[in-house]
Amino acid sequence: MSRLQKKRPQSEKRKRVVETDGETHVAVKSTVAGKPVQAPSAAMSEKSVGQPGAGNLIAKTAEFLREVKVELKKVVWPTRKQTTGTTVVVVIFVFIVAVFLGIFDYSLSALVQAVLT
């Protein structure tokens, strides 16, 4: 299993625009434990700024699936007993509401027939 990197919260990231030789680049300045960490500007190519492309879409999809996997590990799944219990409660509640609506519908239809005849 590969190690997954944990994404930094948005509050720890700061973006700033850097203009060099008439070109505009976005530099991300991150802070880790209060200490600023800056990405090297030489490593920032035009593709990494976010221009559309097939490679970018595949990378975003792969990153999304990795994040989904990490989030699913955090989920606390209910036990079989809890699932069965809540299902029984829902079925009973639906039955009670159905009976109530049936009685209400029958009463209203009888009332309308009495008024019309």
**Domain shared by 111 and 59, yes or no:** no
Residue 5 within a domain: no
**Domain shared by 14 and 66, yes or no:** yes
Confidence of residue 55 (pLDDT cuts 50, 70, 90): confident
Is residue 25 classed as helix, strand or coil in its secondary structure?
Answer: strand
φ, ψ of residue 2 to 5 degrees: the values are: -80, 155
**Domain shared by 21 and 64, yes or no:** yes
Helix segments in the chain, DSSP class H: 54-74, 80-116
**Domain shared by 114 and 58, yes or no:** no
**Domain shared by 35 and 85, yes or no:** no
DSSP string of 60-86, one letter each residue: HHHHHHHHHHHHHHH--PPPHHHHHHH
Counting the structural domains of the chain, the total is 2
Is residue 29 classed as helix, strand or coil in its secondary structure?
Answer: strand
pLDDT digits (tens, 9 = 90+) for 65-104: 999 999 999 999 999 999 999 999 999 999 999 999 999 9
**Domain shared by 69 and 84, yes or no:** no
User: Domain containing 38: what range?
Assistant: 10-74
What is the pLDDT, as a whole number, of residue 42?
47
Is residue 22 classed as helix, strand or coil in its secondary structure?
Answer: coil
Confidence of residue 117 (pLDDT cuts 50, 70, 90): confident
The average confidence (pLDDT) of the chain is: 77
**Domain shared by 63 and 106, yes or no:** no
**Domain shared by 113 and 57, yes or no:** no
